[in-house]
Amino acid sequence: MVRSMSAAGVPRDPAWRAAFEAVPRHVFVPYYYAGDGGRLWAGDPDEEARRRWLDGAYADTALGTRMRDGRLISSSSQPSLMAGMLDALDVRDGDRVLEIGAGTGYNAALLAHRLGDGRVTTVDLDPEITESARVHLAAAGHRPAVVTGDGARGCPERSPFDGIIATCALPSVPRAWIEQAAPGCRIVAPLATGLVALRVEDTAEGRVAQGPFLSTSAYFVALRGAPERDEDAVRHGAGVPRHALSNDLFRFLLALSADSIGPLEAYRLWRHAHRPGRERFGVTVTDAGQWAWLDDPDGPHRWPLPPL
């Protein structure tokens, strides 16, 4: 798995490579849902099924781990995507990190291996998920703080944080994270279908978090409790050519701007800007609000993001 990730250029930081080599992923996914809808698990009496489970645990792919009412509510993210996010988090020895979305506990274990158990906090709303993550982490020899609570509120009692990383999709950046960040904190979070990487700084105008999106696409389970977006409006933009609606980069812009500008206006912007990639977009968060932008935070192409 690590060789496959290295061939793709991640992780860049040797310390993260060492973490992926050391932390056993299979401990965190004792069962998961296969592509055919069936479930693979470590205790299957069939030897071939157990082999498939183990092979899948070390494939560079996302694994669905928890369903409720037919809906995926938790997963183990694709390792190479996790590695890219951890690289972007830009941690240093001694940093304190908050993870939003405990999932299986695997990402928290990687953080704990890199930084030490006492410097990692992972939060999830679902007590079943946090208890399961706690058990997996202990089995792998790690005991970071695992907190059951609303990830949008962060974890003020363990702040300030030097890094905040989210493994659930968001419509905007929660204000609580900015308030719990130490100056210089890096925030890496899924927004729309991309990953935004913000740096928090104190300025004369107040605290500001700002930064661009990474170039990679990212599809995560949504933060529970966040406002639902109208997916039909995203999929079927009136007046927008079908080829654009099927284009991943345009759909990113459409998802990022769906609460502020219409599909046709988004299409015109996309065409005018020569079909920009994710890395040309960014987000700014201030005391007065937050907005997404194309090319320039203070330029003409920007729009507000909904409050969370």
Residue 74: active-site member: yes
SS percent in the chain: helix, strand, coil, step 5:
35, 25, 35
**The three-state (H, E, C) secondary structure of 56-98, written as one string:** HHCCCCCEEEEEECCEEEEEECCHHHHHHHHHHHCCCCCCCEE
ω before 11 within 30° of 0 (cis)? yes
Say how many C-beta atoms besides its own lie within 10 A of residue 294's C-beta.
Answer: 21
- How far the first Cα of the chain sits from its last, in Å, is 36
Among residues 74, 76, 80, 159, the one annotated as catalytic is 74
- CA–CA separation, 16 and 231 (whole Å): 36
> Is 181 in a helix, a strand, or coil?
strand
Contacts of 216-220 with C-beta under 8 Å, sequence gap 24+, read: 216/81, 216/84, 216/278, 217/193, 217/248, 217/252, 217/278, 218/81, 218/169, 218/190, 218/193, 218/194, 219/169, 219/190, 219/193, 220/77, 220/101, 220/167, 220/168, 220/169, 220/190
Q: What is the dihedral of CA 145, 149, 154, 158, to 10 degrees?
A: -30
Cα 196 versus chain centre, distance: 9
Give catalytic residue positions. 74
